[in-house]
Structure 1
Amino acid sequence: MWQPTLLVLLVAVSLRACTAAANGRGKPLVTPVTKDPSTSLYTAPLNAGRPLVLHLSAPDVTSPYSAGHGQNTRVTLSANATDGSNPLFPVSFSVAASCGAVGVAGLARSARSFPAQVASTQRVTNSFMLCLPGGGDRAGAAIFGGGPFFLAPPADRPAVTMFLSDGVPLRRPFAGDPGYYVSASNGIAVDGARVAVIGGGALIVGFSTTVPYTELRPDVYRPLIAAFDRAMGPNARRVTAAVAPFELCYDSTKLLSTQTGYSVPEVHVMLEGAQNWTAFGDNSMAQVSRGTACFAFVEMKGRDKGAVPAVVIGGLQMESRLVVVDEDKQKLSFSRHLSADGFSCSNFNFTRAA
Structure 2
Amino acid sequence: MDSSFFLFLLCVSFAFFPGSIDSAKAKPRAFILPVSKDNVTLQFSTMVELGTPQTPVDLVIDLGGQMVWFVCENGFTSSTYRPVPCGSAKCGAAKGVGCVGCDGTPRPGCTNNTCGVYPYNPVNNSLYSGGLGEDTMAIFSTDGRRYMNISVPSLAFACGYNDQLQGLVNGSQGMIGLAKTQMALQSQLSAAYKIQNKFALCLPSGNGRGYMLIGGGRYPEDVSRLLIRTPLTINPVSTAPIYSEGDRSDEYFIDVKSIRIEGKVVSLNTSLLSIDKDGVGGTKISTVSPYTVLHSSIYKALVNDFIKKAAAKKINRVKAVAPFGACFSSKKIAGTKTGPAVPIIELELQGNGTFWRIFGANSMVKAKKDVLCLGFIDGGLEPRTSIVIGGLQLEDNLLEFDVESSTLGFSSSLLLHKTSCSQSKAMFSYPD
What TM-score do you get using the length of structure 1 for normalisation?
0.84
Letter in 1 for 2:294: L
Following TM superposition, the consecutive aligned residue runs of length 4 or more in structure 1 with deviations greater than 6 angstroms are none
Q: How far apart are 1:120 and its partner, in Å?
A: 1.4
Q: Secondary structure at the match of 1:225?
A: helix
Q: Secondary structure at the match of 1:316?
A: helix
Are 1:231 and 1:265, in contact at CA under 8 Å, matched by a contact in 2?
Answer: yes
Q: In the TM superposition, what is the alpha-carbon distance from 1:201 to its structure 2 partner?
A: 7.2
| Equivalent of 2:25 in 20, 30, 34 | 20
Residue 286 of structure 1 contacts residue 295 of structure 1 at CA under 8 Å; is this kept in 2? yes
Distance 1:166 1:350, change over 3 A: closer
Q: Secondary structure of the equivalent of 2:321?
A: coil
Evaluate the alpha carbon distance shift between residue 258 and residue 99 of structure 1 in structure 2; reply closer, same or farther with a 3 A threshold. Answer: same
Cα RMSD over matched residues? 2.3
Q: Name the counterpart of 1:10.
A: none
Which of 347, 350, 360 is residue 281 of structure 1 equivalent to?
Answer: 360
2:408 corresponds to 1:332: yes
Which structure 2 segments of 5+ residues have no match? Answer: 1-21, 50-54, 76-106, 111-130, 162-172, 241-249, 275-281
Whole-angstrom distance in 1 between the partners of 2:368 and 2:44 = 23
Q: Does the 8 A contact of 1:32 with 1:142 survive in 2?
A: yes
Asked whether 1:344 is paired with 2:420, we answer yes
The partner residue of 1:262 within 329, 340, 343 is 340
* Count of residue pairs the alignment pairs up: 320
Give the 3 Å change call, closer, same or farther, for CA 328–75 of structure 1 in structure 2. same
Q: Tell which has more relative contact order, 1 or 2 (C-alpha 8 A, sep 6+).
A: 1
In the TM superposition, 1:235-274 aligns within 5 A as 235-240=314-319, 242-273=320-351, 274=353
Cα 1:205–1:352, aligned 2, differ >3 Å: closer, same or farther? closer
Q: Residue 47 of structure 2 is aligned with which of 5, 26, 45?
A: 45
Deviation, 1:226, is 0.4
Distance 1:146 1:300 in 2: 36
1:349 shift after superposition: 5.3
Please report how far the alpha carbon of residue 202 of structure 1 lies from its aligned counterpart in structure 2 after TM superposition: 4.1
Residue number in structure 1 paired with 2:269: 198
Distance 1:226 1:290 in 2: 24
Q: Is the 8 A contact 2:217 2:428 kept in 1?
A: no
Q: What SS does the aligned partner of 1:125 have?
A: coil
Q: Distance in 2 between matches of 1:18 and 1:315?
A: 34
Query: Helix, strand or coil for the counterpart of 1:230?
Result: helix
Q: Of 53, 58, 71, which residue of structure 2 is paired with 1:64?
A: 71
Q: 1:170 to 1:83 in 2, by over 3 A?
A: farther
Asked if 1:74 corresponds to 2:152, the answer is no
Q: Is the 8 A contact 1:63 1:75 kept in 2?
A: no
Cα 1:349–1:264 shift into 2, 3 Å: closer
Task: Give the corresponding residue for 1:294.
Answer: 373
1:182 aligns with 2:261: no
SS in 1 for 2:299: helix
